[in-house]
Structure 1
Amino acid sequence: MDCYCGNTKPYEACCEIFHKNGGKTETAEQLMRSRYSAFVLANGDYLMLTHHASTRPVKEKKAIVKWAKSVQWIKLEVLETSFGQASDTEGTVTFNAYFFEQGKVDVIHEKSAFVKTSNVWKYLGLSN
């Protein structure tokens, strides 16, 4: 079975590696994909760990996990990646995350900002 993030590798050879190593990805897109898989699995600890401390919604963790469990995740589409490579310190990833909720398909369309500090990528929030 392909990984939840849409890559053709199995989860164990893809996002699970980052879920086990504390989110140490090479690129911003890898982190974004691993965060999508964490939403599918309702892995709130990983979502908090990989969210930059300056914007981390710690008080909302339980609500985020509850919501992630309440929807049926369909697929992730990465539309565009700007910077966010191993040699960069910031980058953006634009994506669509499709899910099924209350009888209908919905989509989260987001341009996410990522920053790399101490050689570790973190999700910062929505990009302008």
Structure 2
Amino acid sequence: MFHDQLSSDAACPCGSGKSFADCCGPALSGTTPAPTAEALMRSRYCAFAIGAVDYLLDTVAPEKRQEGDAELLTEQTQVTTWTGLNILSTRMGKESDDLGEVSFEARFQSGPSKGVLREHSRFRREAGLWVYVDGDVELLPG
């Protein structure tokens, strides 16, 4: 789905300065899992930006998944354009950790409105893979 929307040599939407192929692309394609909580958060941002709903669903902690999530995420990715990501801080979440936290700001536009989503996210490693657990979210005018 997302391969049609972003070439592998394009700049990664997460703002790392790397190409998509060298950054979030391998995680989104399923060839290489995100090695850290921050890498998972960056790849999830990319998934929101390019509409990779299956990846978003697969990288949420199982107990947080709800019926109707696919439809809601599909709608959100169609009406929102993500325009930038800024990592504010990380706590744990390294390759040797089982828990991690990432604070970030993500800029977006939805229709004529611009905004900033500020979130302190929590992640955990499950069966060797990082998953998004939950986060404290604040929406600010952009």
**If the TM-score is normalised by the length of the shorter chain, which range does it land in?**
over 0.9
Report 1:102-117 matches (<5 A).
102-117=111-126
Instruction: Report % sequence identity.
Output: 31
Q: Supply the RMSD in Å over aligned alpha carbons.
A: 1.7
TM-score, normalised by the number of residues in structure 2:
0.84
Higher relative contact order (CA 8 A, sep 6+): 1
Aligned residue identity for 1:8: G
Q: Is residue 40–residue 69 contact of structure 1 (8 Å, CA) maintained in 2?
A: no
Is the contact made by 2:103 and 2:120 (CA closer than 8 Å) also made in structure 1? yes
2:64 is aligned with 1:55: yes
CA distance in 2, matches of 1:45, 1:112: 20
Q: Distance in 2 between the 1:57 and 1:95 partners?
A: 24
User: SS at 2:65's partner residue?
Assistant: coil
Could you state the TM-score of these two structures normalised by the residue count of structure 1? 0.93
CA contact (8 A) 2:57 2:69 kept: no
Greater Cα shift, 88-97 or 1-10: 1-10
- 1:106 Cα offset (Å): 0.6
Number of residues of Structure 1 aligned to a counterpart in Structure 2 = 128
Corresponding position: 1:26 with 2:31: no
Partner of 1:89: 98
| Deviation for aligned residue 1:22 | 6.4
8 Å Cα contact 1:22/1:49 also seen in 2: no
Question: Is the CA contact (8 Å cut-off) linking 2:79 and 2:111 kept in structure 1?
Answer: no
User: Which of 14, 22, 46 is the equivalent residue of 1:13?
Assistant: 22
| Preserved contact between residue 77 and residue 96 of structure 1 (Cα < 8 Å) | yes
Partner of 1:122: 131
